[in-house]
Structure 1
Amino acid sequence: MPPGVRLMQKMSSTRTFARIAPHFIPAMDRTVHRLTRGKVLLSAKMLPGVILTVRGAKSGLARRTPLACMPEEKGSWILIGSNFGRPGHPAWTGNLIAHPDADVNWQGADIPVRARLLAGEERAAAWDAVLKFWPPYATYQSRIEREIRLFRLERRAE
C-alpha cells in the first residue's frame, strides 16, 4: 500500500470530507486532466480513476466526470456510485442507466465501454471486492439509506 493511503482512507470516511470533496476533487481532476492532455489524474495517485464521458439522461449532451474506479483483471472496471456517502445517487449513475454506451479515459487512452448496473449475486460479489479494495465505501454505505449503485464497464467495439 503506497504511503499515505491509510491516512487518506481515514480522512475520506469523515463527514467533513463528504461535504467538501465533491466540490473540490472533481474540479481539480478535470482541470489537471485537461491541462496534461489526459496524462494526469491527480486523485488517481491514491485510488485508480477514469474520466467518464456519457450523454446526459435528459439533455443528451456529453458529460465528463472524473471518478474513482476499481480496475478488474479482465480489463473491465467497477464504478461506485457512492456520492461520497451523501444522500441521492450521483447524476452520472442516472446518465449511465439511460445511456449505457459511454467512453472512459483510462491512463491517457480513450476507450469505448458499455456500462451494466450490477444486481443480485453479481453485485454482492463486486461489493465485497470493492470493500477489500477501498474500505471507506462501507462507511459511505452506513450513512445513507439508498443502496450504492455499482456498474461494470466493459470494452466495446467502436
Structure 2
Amino acid sequence: MDVLGGRRPASAIRRVVVRVATTTLFARVAGWALTDLDRAVFRLSGGRLVLSRLFFPVLVLTTTGWRSGLARRVPLLCLCSDDGFYVIGSNFGRARHPGWSTNLRHEPGATVTWRGRTFPVTAHPVDADGDFLELLRASGTAPVFGAYAARSGRAVRVFHLRPEPGTGDPAP
C-alpha cells in the first residue's frame, strides 16, 4: 500500500514540516495562505502542480457547493490506498467543519485531480477504523491531524474517495 503516493521527502525535512504544521500559528496562517497559494499554482500550471505536494501527497478535490450549486475546488493532503484516497476534514484545527466536507455529505459525487489526471470519485464517510488509523500512522501525518482534531473540539470528518468504475487506473 503506497500511503504517500510514491513520494517520501527526506525524513529530517519531514519531521520539521510535521513539527511546524502542528503549531497554532501555522494552522492560523496556513489555513488561508497555503490553500490560496496552492490554488494559484494549480490554476497557473494548468492543473499539473500543487506546491504543498513537495512535502505531502496532495490532490485537488472539486465538489459542488450544496447551497450555491457552484464548483468548489480545494487542494487537500491525502492518504493514498490501493482503492482510492482518504481525505480528512481537520480544517487546520478550526471549530467548524471545512466547506468541502459539508458539500460531500450533501453530494458524494466529486472529481479529483491527481498527478495531472482528473477523474470522478464517490465519497464515502469513514469511521476511524483500524485500516484508516494504520494508514494515518504509516503516512507520518498522525501528529498533525491529532493536533488539529484536539484543537478543533469536534469529531473530524474523514472520507474515502473511490474512483468511479471505468475511469481507467488512477492508482495513487
TM-score, normalisation: structure 1: 0.92
**Within the alignment, does 1:127 sit opposite 2:133 as a pair?**
yes
CA distance in 1, matches of 2:133, 2:108: 20
| Residue 127 of structure 1: how far off its partner (Å) | 3.2
Give the aligned residue type for 2:136. Answer: V
Q: 2: distance between equivalents of 1:23 and 1:144?
A: 16
Aligned position for 2:9: 2
Q: Distance in 2 between matches of 1:132 and 1:14?
A: 21
> Structure 1: which amino acid aligns with 2:71?
A
What SS class does the counterpart of residue 49 from structure 2 fall into?
A: coil
Contact 1:104–1:110 (CA under 8 A) maintained in structure 2: yes
The TM-score normalised by the length of structure 2 is: 0.85
Taking the aligned partners of 1:17 and 1:57, their CA distance within structure 2 comes to 29
SS at 1:87's partner residue? coil
* Structure 1: distance between partners of 2:80 and 2:138: 13
Q: Structure 1: give runs of 5+ residues left out of the alignment.
A: none
- Identify unmatched segments of 5+ residues in structure 2: 1-7, 168-172
Map 1:11-90 onto structure 2 (within 5 A): 11-74=20-83, 76-90=84-98
Answer yes or no: is the 8 Å Cα contact 1:13–1:139 preserved in 2.
yes
Alpha carbon RMSD of aligned pairs, Å?
Answer: 1.3
Once the two structures are superposed, what CA deviation does each residue of 1:50-96 show, in whole Å capped at 9, x if it has no partner? Answer: 1111100111111111111111123x000010101111111110000
Query: Percent same amino acid among aligned pairs?
Result: 35
Tell me, in whole angstroms, the C-alpha distance in 2 between the residues paired with 1:115 and 1:8: 28
